Structure 1
Amino acid sequence: MAAVVLHDLGGRKDARAWFATAARAAAESGDRQLHAWVLAREAMVPLNYGAPKAAADLAERARQAAGTAPTAAATLAAAVAARAYALTGQADQARGALADADRLSDRLAGDQREDTWLGHCERKHHVHLSHALTALGETRRARESQDRALALSSSTSSMACTLLKIDAAACAHRDGDTEQACRRATAALAALPPAYRTDLTHTRAMDLYRSIPAQHYGEPAVRQLQEVLAA
């Protein structure tokens, strides 16, 4: 839990250290599902901070540890692997992992699909799908997951909602509306409470900005996004 919080705050180095301790303890305990969950969550550090290849390797270790039974850990591992493969341009592997994640999610028992630290609820599932599908350029499906995740999110889920809105902005850019994409991302960042303006949300928005061709940098909406990111 400490590692997850440090990840959300942008403390990458400290998060990896805590995850390493958690993974070692989980492995020594013999609890394969807990070990898989820790590895899958650890994979989200490189995934969200620019090292998707390393994330894919960790996610695959998590999938091996979890096995094929429909558990929250196995579902999470497949969803994180899908995101990592999508970001590395391995579309076939990403779609295969997405199909596995959906199949496992549909078969989860009640206690495995609860909205808890170790559960994999529908809201969390669509948050992962949103990012993977956005990276794959499947914007229609991505929007469906974004809408569903936002509908299931509470008003206090500021971080997750912001990431979903930035994904939606990235979809607009992929569909050719760069101006609207920048306006949406800027609004999402501006609406965040100061405590939630961490490296996690900044990195996701910066990924969008870097995907914009340089010839658009002089446009007002693009400049406004750049100014928010530089603040």
Structure 2
Amino acid sequence: MGHKPSCAASTRARALVNGWTIDMAVAAIVECCGVTRLRAHRFARGWTRARAVSELIALCDGLALDRPNPDAEQLGAWERSARMPRAQTIDLLCRLYRTDAQGLGLSGGYRADVCSPVTVFTPPVAPDVPVTERAAAPGSPDVSDPFDAVARAHRRAIERTLASTTLTTGELESLDGKLLTLRRDYVSDPPMVMLARLLTTLEEVRQYSEERQPALVQVRLSEMIAVLSTLTADALMKLGRKEQARDWYGTGKSAADDSGNRELRTRVRVQAAMLPFYYGPLTEAAALAHEAVLLNRGRPSATGAFAAAAEARIKARQGDEDGARASIAQARGLFERSRQAALEDDAWAFPYRRLQLYLSGAFTALGDTVQAGRAQEEALRLYPDHTGIDPALLRLEQAMCLVRQRSVSEACQLARDTYLAVPGDHRTQILGTRAADVIKITPKEARPRAARELGELLALPSGGT
């Protein structure tokens, strides 16, 4: 194959984003990477050769069919057209990949009597037992006991397994670098652009995770999957793909729990609370945020402040003023004591300006326009170019405060100007949902022409102008 496996992984990621069928993904991989259709079917599913073999065996067991007893090397030979599988095996491969022989590129040019090499069963032996260990060493105890050499060989094999890894230190550092770049680019790049990049990297990490890794490496890979899955969910949430976002948040939580990293488990849950915060139900958002607060256990960290600030914003929208103000105080206290220098150009950080964004949401929902205005001004001061979704959300909350102050026309005009000022590829459904909230809090009998115009604008496909 002329291209690296990451090329096929990138094509698979595009297929996931664009909703392609498996056949479409296979055709694209064949055309781009120049591989056989049999190999392209495996790549389209993101399977390693070992995974494909195990899936084939499971299929045979599930259907009570005789196993062809393939191994990864033999499958590779079939995929390179170096060998041709038997007719019966072709039938099993068609069942596995849910296509026909033509779809696998195996519809002609083979003879049913041409068999792949026979796998001969041999009794298990102690792996890699040196000849010197099989003989009795002078002065060694129990030299007549054959179990001694076998046990030592198995112990060494187990130790090699525990130390084995398909990831070099350099490759792990490369993955870390890719993840950091994605976290930084996520702050400014459009959600749809980021989706393809996130899914490509996720596929690369997943393939490494399928192999046996040392525990510490596996934990690191689970942490990466948690972060990448959560950012994928966030991008889908912004685009209004609620069900897909919910699924990816679930994957993020599972990976975070698998890592055992308490701060990461806290962070993923508070991020997941954003989906029901914007789209409902609020009770679900409240449960997730409270779970994050409990997981944090009051530790002074930016993540703990994030959890408390999110809970404050949710309580404010639920009408729990006392609870919201207590959570606001907790968020401020945890942030001040965290002593962490959060990077502002990192989507996985919780810097001071994001704290102010969340406090703005809480105070706006409480109707405390004075405190909300202070938080909005402080946050906007820290967004130098005032572009992107976060500054737009702050402007929309300024508009909501204007509604509270009975400046309805001015509020709707500000919401309209804010919405139109956001670049088209950032003007996603989550922004439209928040802009619509400006109209919702406006009394129907007091809605001016500007409110109607804003509603008409938001009703256009994709927020078109």
Fold match (TM-score > 0.5)? yes
Pairing partner for 2:343 from 111, 114, 119: 114
Helix, strand or coil at the partner of 1:56:
helix
Equivalent residues in 2 for 1:48-197, closer than 5 Å: 48-111=278-341, 113-115=342-344, 116-155=346-385, 157-197=387-427
* Secondary structure at 1:120 match in 2: coil
The answer for the alignment partner of 2:272 in structure 1 is 42
CA distance in 1, matches of 2:348, 2:427: 25
SS at match of 1:223: helix
Q: 2:246 is matched by which residue type in structure 1? A: R
| C-alpha distance in 1 between matches for 2:253 and 2:245 | 12
The correspondence for 1:223, drawn from 431, 452, 457, is 452
Note the aligned Cα RMSD (angstroms): 1.4
State the 1:228 CA deviation.
1.5
Unmatched segments (≥5 aa) in structure 1: none
Count of residue pairs brought into register by the alignment:
229
Instruction: Encode CA deviations 1:184-216: one digit per residue, 9 max, x unaligned.
Output: 111111111111221111111111101111112
Q: How many angstroms does 1:152 deviate by? A: 0.6
Relative contact order higher in (CA < 8 Å, ≥ 6 apart)? 1
Deviation of 1:79 after TM superposition, in Å, equals 0.6
Structure 1 position 156, deviation (Å) = 6.8
Between structures 1 and 2, the one with greater helix share: 1
The answer on whether the counterparts of 2:302 and 2:340 sit within 8 Å (CA) in structure 1 is: no
**1:10–1:198 Cα contact (<8 Å) kept:** yes
Larger Rg: 2
Distance 2:379 2:279 in 1: 22
Q: Which secondary structure state, in structure 1, belongs to the residue aligned with residue 442 of structure 2?
A: coil
SS for the counterpart of 2:319 is coil
Q: Please give the TM-score of this superposition, normalised by the length of structure 2.
A: 0.48
| TM-score of the superposed pair, with normalisation by structure 1 | 0.94
CA distance in 2, matches of 1:16, 1:61: 17
Query: Is contact 1:86-1:132 (8 Å) kept?
Result: yes
Instruction: Indicate whether 1:11 and 2:274 are aligned.
Output: no
